[in-house]
Amino acid sequence: MYIQQIVPFNLAYKPQTLRLQKAGLAIAACVLMLNYADNVQAADKTKTKAEQSSKVQSQAKEEKSIELTEMEVSATQRADDLVGIASSASQGNVGQEQLKYRPITRPSEILEAVPGMISSQHSGEGKASQYYLRGFNLDHGTDFLTQVDGVPVNMASHSHGQGWMDTNFLIPEMIKTVNYQKGNYYAENGDFSSAGAANIEYFNELENNTIKFTGGSFDYYRGLMMGSKKVGDGNILFAGETVHNNGPWDDGNDYMKFNGVLRYSQEHANSGWSITGMAYKADWNSTDQIPRRAVLDGTLNRFGAVDATDGGGTQRYSLTGEWHRRSNDSESSIMAYGLYSKLKLFSNFTYFMTNPELGDQFGQPDERYTTGLKAKHTFFHKIGSAESESTLGLQVRNDNIRNGLTLTQARQQYAAVRQDDVWITNVSPYFENKTRWNDWFRSTVGVRFDGYQFDVSNSNQAANNGTKYDGMVSPKLGLTFGPWANTEFYLNGGMGFHSNDARGINTRVDPATGLNTASDGSEINPAQPLARTYGAEIGARTTWIKGLQSTLAIWWLDIDSELLFVGDAGTTEASLPSRRYGIEWANYYSPTDWLTFDADLSFSKARFRGDTSGGKYIPGSINSVLATGAMVHDVWGGFFGGPRLRYFGPRVLIEDGTQRSRPTIMLSGMVGYKFNPTWTVQAEVFNLLNRKDSGIDYYYESQLRNEAAPVGDTHFHPVEPISFRLTLNANF
């Protein structure tokens, strides 16, 4: 055995029986719904609506006078009329009124509201999803920054992969809006944002208190209670959720999630503040990708597993405080957050290739404390006769991490490859100016500095200890021309970066062997801490046709190096510089106030640059996406819903392009009826065509127990077969 040191982790798997909890939840939900429904006060509802209408009208009057800073969000449209406001064709927002009519199987699919984004899964429901956008296989979040009310979700130097972005704690009904920005042209976005970014905002106040219960195929149950109440001069918001899902797998996921949000906020004429606490816990069994050869020869069922003991558990707890103020000549905000998260993850992708006796399962424990601060001040002024605003911002983040890579069998550890204590500190000041020079030309100019400290203490190999510092200056530029005939044109450019895993930055020897060469004989060199990215875009946005909002963007992105830390191996893997470019066309059409259509198309090309003798294709890179749907609401006495189609095309799986995946097509739909202000029922059906496509495909070598040598093969995770969910909703 080549492992030099055994480091124990207390990660024993303890199965739980959850049937009583689910039954109790269902009974409690029904009792509470019946109890509260009889006490609905129509007068209170009328008063609440009048108060909200008054607030909206008052805010609209105040915001109208300062045009440059406001991106007002409509609750009824996916993308508001941002002509005259947006600084690129690749930014927009999606409101709750559009999100709630989307049939979704898991919370991460909320991000598919970003045009061109695909969310998928190759393991158990509790694991972070896999994402695709702009020619990227984003893995579990690298190069796409996601935030919830400004708090970053991506995790640096995560045990399973850089940028780990677990969005399973999201409660879709709590989302007020999803604000997205694609490209690296925005000064407020730093690490992980080269492909794009999204900030998901929760409500501070809800119109109704809600109890919801969902049941469906494959032992799926969900209970949700949420609402808000006036307390003193402020408002308290609460939500509690529990979910169970087995899935269609031969060995069920037995996914169990508990999730909660509690927020207190106050809003005054020119200022406000809030305190938010979140808690999330989940456990699951994984159904990782399986080799196609085993399905073709009948060894495995399509929904089977080679190692049925894969799985994990996770916890996430956070506390956030926020304050903001606005006056006629300036605007300020400050936010501080603290986050604790813990993950135990067990995977086996190669089965019996490395260890024919015990198998190749490995564990990836990760425990961390993350703290941060965000502050910015904007002052409104003039440059000559031109209206202008300038923003000074500061972002600070600190991650204290303990993670590792262990060897396990049936989730029981027998050795450790590495265990690390990691400390990462990031300080990022930035400046941005927006100026309207005349009635047809605006500019956005920004610059950002990101400074880093990476400190690693490795208990297995002292040679991999160390502290490194690095920093980058990233300029940003946006030029806007128009509007002419309700149409604007944009030119955008910028520099950005992505950070590499702190362990890879300090790795000098293979953590398993202690040698300075990898298993293939190549020399192990520490990764560069920060890899530069360069981006540019030409775009247009129009609302010329009544009811239609359309954007078109032609974009380009270069990366100096796609160096990344391979958490599954504990070492650094270097790749060549890369180039991606493509075109995106997003459309949202509302011919009436009860009917909407949307259609988003994107095409991209991703290639390595430099010495491409080993192949020029970037494995897993997506090249075509189509997402389209129709939605009706408040028709024929209260019906709502519609179909939704998602297509993402074949992907190249290895560098020489000889292995490719098949395309994936998913058609789903929703139909519901609102009986009265209290009771609503809705049904969702997924994979209506019952297609046998893959959610994700990989090509690599693996070895089954009955095989004498490794075999190169496509490994896939199937999409779920046709399934349904039925929801009963009560507002009070």
Residue 62: predicted pLDDT? 41
pLDDT above 80 for 44: no
621-632 burial by CB neighbour count: b if 16+ within 10 A, else e?
A: bbbbbbbebbbb
pLDDT of residue 513: 77
Share of the chain above pLDDT 70, in %: 87
Residue 28 has pLDDT above 60, yes or no: no
The answer to whether residues 449 and 495 touch, using CB atoms and an 8 Å cutoff, is no
Burial group, residue 481, by CB count within 10 angstroms (0-12, 13-18, 19+): middle
State mean pLDDT over 153-164.
93
Is residue 278 predicted with pLDDT exceeding 90?
yes
The three-state secondary structure class of 227 is strand
d(CA 184, CA 534): 8
CATH pick for 19-39+71-731 out of 3.60.110.10, 2.40.170.20, 3.40.50.40, 3.30.470.10 = 2.40.170.20
State how far the alpha carbon of 622 is from the alpha carbons of 595, 646, 662, in Å: 31, 14, 12
Using one digit for the tens of pLDDT, what is the confidence trace for 451-506? 999 999 987 778 889 999 999 999 999 999 999 999 999 999 999 999 999 998 88
> Of 568, 501, 558, which Cα lies nearest the Cα of 528?
501
85 has a pLDDT exceeding 70 = yes
pLDDT above 60 for 19:
no
Instruction: Return the residue matching tokens 């703290």.
Output: 371
**Percentage of residues in the chain having pLDDT higher than 90:** 78
Which whole number is the average pLDDT over 700-716? 95
Confidence at residue 27, expressed as pLDDT on a 0 to 100 scale: 34
Per-residue pLDDT at 12: 37
Q: Which two tokens stand for residue 512?
A: 């398993």
Half-sphere exposure of 604 (CA within 13 A, CB side): 32
Which H helix or E strand runs over 59? helix 42-64
Structure tokens at 478: 């946006």
Stretch 254-258: mean pLDDT, rounded?
Answer: 97
Q: How do residues 714-725 score in pLDDT, each as one tens digit?
A: 999 999 999 999
Q: Name 23's Cβ contacts closer than 8 Å, sequence gap at least 6.
A: none
Task: Report whether pLDDT(293) > 60.
Answer: yes
Q: How far apart are CA 470 and CA 282, in angstroms?
A: 36
Q: Among 590, 669, 672, which Cα is nearest to 637's?
A: 672
Contact between 729 and 210 under an 8 Å Cβ cutoff? The reply is: yes
- CA distance from start to end of the chain: 63
- Average model confidence (pLDDT) across the chain: 88
198, 191, 180, 178: which is closest to 88 by C-alpha?
180
pLDDT per residue as tens digits for the range 123-143: 889 999 999 999 999 989 889
CA 520 and chain centroid, separation: 34
Q: For position 76, what pLDDT does the model report?
A: 39
Span 612-643, pLDDT tens digits: 888 999 999 999 999 999 999 988 889 999 99
| Residue ranges covered by each domain of the chain | 19-39+71-731
pLDDT digit string (tens) for 295-313?
A: 999 999 999 999 999 999 9
The 10s digit of each residue's pLDDT in 561-619 is 876 545 555 455 667 899 999 999 999 999 998 999 999 999 999 999 988 888 999 99
Q: Please name which of 188, 131, 168 lies closest in space to residue 259, comparing C-alpha atoms.
A: 168
At 437, phi and psi to the nearest 5? -75, -35
Position 298 scores a pLDDT of 94
Model's pTM, two decimal places? Answer: 0.88
Q: With 90 as the cut, is the pLDDT of residue 542 above it?
A: yes
Reported as half-sphere exposure (CB side, CA atoms, 13 A), residue 36 has a value of 20
* H helix runs in 576-696, sequence order: none
**Rounded distance, CA 686 to CA 698, Å?**
24
Answer whether residue 75 shows pLDDT above 80.
no
In the predicted structure, residue 268 carries a pLDDT above the cut 90: yes
pLDDT single digits (tens) 213-236: 999 999 999 999 999 999 999 999
For residue 178, give the amino acid letter: V
pLDDT at 43 over 50: no
